[in-house]
Structure formats: C-alpha cells, structure tokens
Amino acid sequence: MKVFLIGYMGSGKSTIGKELATVLDFSFLDLDDYIISKEGMSITELFKTKGEIYFRKIETAYLKEVLNFNKDYVIALGGGTPCYSGNIDLIAKSINTVSFYLKLALPALVKRLMPEKDSRPLISHLKTEEGVLEFIGKHLFERAHYYSKANHSILTDNKTKQEIIEQIVKHLV
C-alpha cells in the first residue's frame, strides 16, 4: 500500500508522514527529497537553474517511479505535485494507493511559512507577510480543485500530530 499525503507547503506532510510511517511500519519517502537525491541539487537550485517547467516534468517522472515501488510507503508530495501533469489522477488510478489532503487554514500556513520563507522558492521573493498571505490565498484557491480529489481530507488546525495520525489510521483500517 502507498499512503500519499498532499497539501500546501507547510501543511505538515513530511512531519506527519515520518511519524505515520513509523506507526504503520511502512517506509517513508518525501518526493522532494527523492528528487534532490536523484538530481543532485536542491529544489531551490532546480527552480533557479532549470526552471519550474523542467522541475514539474521530472517531478512527474519521479512520481511514476515511486508509484512502481513494490513496498509499503507513506509518501509526502510537494505542494504542487497533485496539480500538474495529471499527477493526482495517476495516484487515484494506481492500485493500492490512498491519498489524504492535510488541510490547514490560510492564517496558520502563513504563520508557519514566514520564518522559512527564504528557503521556499515559490515565496522567497515576497517581501511582506501581507504579500505571502495574498500569494498563498490565491494559490490555495487555484489548487483546491486538485487537493479535493484526495480520497480523504483531514482538517489539521488545532490538532496535535498524534490526533492527525489517528484520524488517518482510522481511514486505513
């Protein structure tokens, strides 16, 4: 089985994913980390040197690789992964997969992302908190259609990691 965690950057996919994998006794894979290891450069460097179009192409290629792994995994996707190249449909059509949208409210996302904004290629150029809020709000609106295609949505506001993991596990049994 492959359990996919989707959601906007900063929604907790990697943090929850690592602990969920431990609880389920699955392997954990962060697709961005997988891309970094395969390409030999950071996501920021890939965006700067090769551009977003190149990144989205290889992201889909590596997602297809991961879908073919013959092992149980919890997989944290990049925030944009479900929104490009029919990736969310690839996941939905794959055998023995389930996806969860970790949904965090806009103000909470902004609060989480502001301190690490410089390491996030999509928002590193934004100067103010208001700019980040506007950008993320627009992005969430554009991406909601894709995120809503997940098998399950988990509202994560004001929940502990343990509560979120328990909610996911309930859907798996």
pLDDT value, residue 121 = 81
Residue percentage of the chain with pLDDT more than 90:
91
Q: What are the boundaries of each domain within the chain?
A: 2-166
Mean pLDDT of 105-126: 90
Mean pLDDT of 54-81: 96
Confidence label for 120 from pLDDT (cuts 50, 70 and 90): confident
The reply to whether the predicted model has a pTM over 0.85 is yes
Q: What is the mean pLDDT of the chain?
A: 95
CB distance 89 to 146 below 8 Å:
no
Cβ count within 10 A of residue 119: 12
Fold that domain 2-166 belongs to in CATH = Rossmann fold (3.40.50)
Q: In what order do the strands lie in the sheet with 73-76?
A: 27-30, 73-76, 2-6, 97-103, 152-155
User: For residue 160, is pLDDT > 90?
Assistant: yes
